[in-house]
Copies of this chain bind each other. A is one copy, B any other.
Amino acid sequence: MSPLNATHDGDARSWLDTANAAGTDFPIQNLPFGVFRRQGTNEAFRGGVAIGDQVICLGALAASGALQGLAGEAAQAGAQPTLNALMAQGPQAWRALRQALFDALLAGSNSAATDAVKAALMPLAQIEHTVPARIGDYTDFYTSIDHARNVGMLARPDEPLTPNFQWIPIAYHGRVSSIGVSGQRYRRPLGQSMRPGETVPRYGPCARLDYELELAIWIGQGNAQGEPIALAQADDHIFGYGLLNDWSARDIQFWEMAPLGPFLGKNFCTTISPWIVTQEALAPYRLPFERPAAEPQPLAYLDDPRTRREGALSIELDVLIESQRMREQRLAPSRVSHTNFRHQYWTVGQMVAQHTNGGCNLNPGDLFGSGTISGPTHEQAGALIELSRGGSTPVLLESSGETRAFLEDGDAVILRGWCEKPGYARIGFGESRGEVLPAVSV
C-alpha cells in the first residue's frame, strides 16, 4: 500500500453538497469506479466515478481534455464499456486519476478540470449498471476459519476443519457467465439432491437456498503464465473491492461436491455490487494481520513484514433480508447479521500469491470472491446455514416477525459494506441486492 496522502484527509470536503452529507457512501475520499448508462436506454455503457448522489461520466470527462498526463490517460481508459483497460494500467495511473478527481472536486477548486467534472455529472438516480469488467476468470476463496468451522461441523462433525485450511488460502474456480450486478433476479435452481436416509436422489427445486456474504476483489495488472506474483508485490495487483453474494443451493451442493467441489450448487447466480472501491481509498482501514501464536504460522512464501504490518482490512458488513411480505407491507428489510472482514484467516495479498504460485496467470478484470465472511460469534455468520444451524433453528426477521431456515421465493438479500474510524471519512460500498424468483416447473 502507498502511504496515506491528501486524498485520505477526513476533513476534506467537496463543492458537491451531497458528497459531504453524513452517511453518504460516496464522499470525496472514496471515488469508486463503476460502469453505467442512462436508465432504460440503449446507450453504450461507460465507466464512471460515484461522488455524493452523482456519477462523473468518464467518457464526457475524457472528451473534455481537461485532465492531463497519466490522469487523462486513465480517464480515457476508464471511459470504455468495461474497466479492463483502466485496470491494466496499474497503480500509478489509478492514483493519478484519483488525485486529479479529488483536486477537481475539492471545495473551492476552480480549474478547467472542475468545470469539466461539473459538466460530466449525472444523478445516480437516473442510471443503471452492468458488470464493471469483462471477467476472464472468477475464483472463489474460502478464508474465514469461523465459516469453515460452522459449515464443516454440519458436514463433517468429526473433523470440521480440513487439515489444509490453516496452511492454504483454499479456493476453487467459479462460474463467470452467471455473475450479475445488484438488482439481479434469478429463478430458484432445480437440481439433484440426496436426502438423509434415502438411497435414490431426487430432482426438483432447491429446498435449501442460501446466500453467502463475500467481498468481490478485482484484479488490476495480471502476471504472465509461469511467473508467480510474490507476496511483497501482491497488493499492487489489486484494483479494488466490492460486495459479492455467492448464492448457494445447499442440498444440491452437499450431494455433488465430493470429490471435485461445488458446481451446480453455486453456478446458477452470483450477484456483485456495481461500484469498485479502490485499494487506494481503503488505505486508512488497513490493520495488522495477526495469526494467533497457537495456530500454524504461514509458510515463508505466504509471510512477509508488510502482511504482518497491514495485511488485514477493516470493512464493516451487513446482511439484510427483505421478504415479499415486507415489500407488500412497506416494512424495512431485516438485518440478519453484521460482521467485519478483519476476521479472515488469510489476507487478500496471500490469496494473490497463492493463486499464482504454480504459474497460473491472472488478467485485468479477473474477480476473486473472498469466501464467506463469518466472524467469531454466531451472530456474525455470513450465511443462513450457519445462522440457522443447518436449518434447525430458523432465524427471526424482526421487521415482519417471519422466520427463515433457508431463503423463500420472493426474498431479496441485500449486502452492505462500509469503513469508518475516527479522524477519517466514512466510505461505503453501495449494495449488492438480489432476489429469488420461483423455480421453473419441472
Contacts and interface: CB of A to CB of B under 8 A. Distances in A.
Interface stretch (A45-53, A108-116, A249-257, A376-384): A249-257
A175 interface: yes
B164 A225 contact: no
B359 A187 contact: yes
A391 interface: no
A362 to B, nearest CB: 7
B264 A262 contact: no
Interface in A260-285: 260-265, 267-269
A303 B258 CA distance: 23
Contacts of A267: 173, 358, 360
B225 A172 contact: no
B359 A263 contact: no
Nearest to A258: B162
Contacts of A355: 264
Contacts of A440: 226-228, 359
Contact of A175 (B168, B200, B360): B360
Contacts of A260: 142, 170-172, 257, 261-262
A226 to B, nearest CB: 4
Interface string A314-350: 0000000000000000000000000000000000000
A125 interface: no
A296 B363 CA distance: 43
A228 B203 CA distance: 13
Given A186-B225, A359-B189, A137 B252 contact: no
B174 A173 contact: yes
Interface string A177-199: 11010000011011110100000
B359 A269 contact: yes
A53 B176 CA distance: 38
A167 interface: yes
A126 to B, nearest CB: 26
A177 B360 contact: yes
A226 B359 contact: no
A357 interface: yes
Given A170-B260, A261-B172, A359 B186 contact: yes
Interface of A: 136-137, 139, 142, 152, 155-156, 162-164, 167-168, 170-178, 180, 186-187, 189-192, 194, 200-201, 203, 206, 222, 225-228, 249, 252, 255-265, 267-269, 296, 299-301, 354-355, 357-363, 366, 437, 440, 442
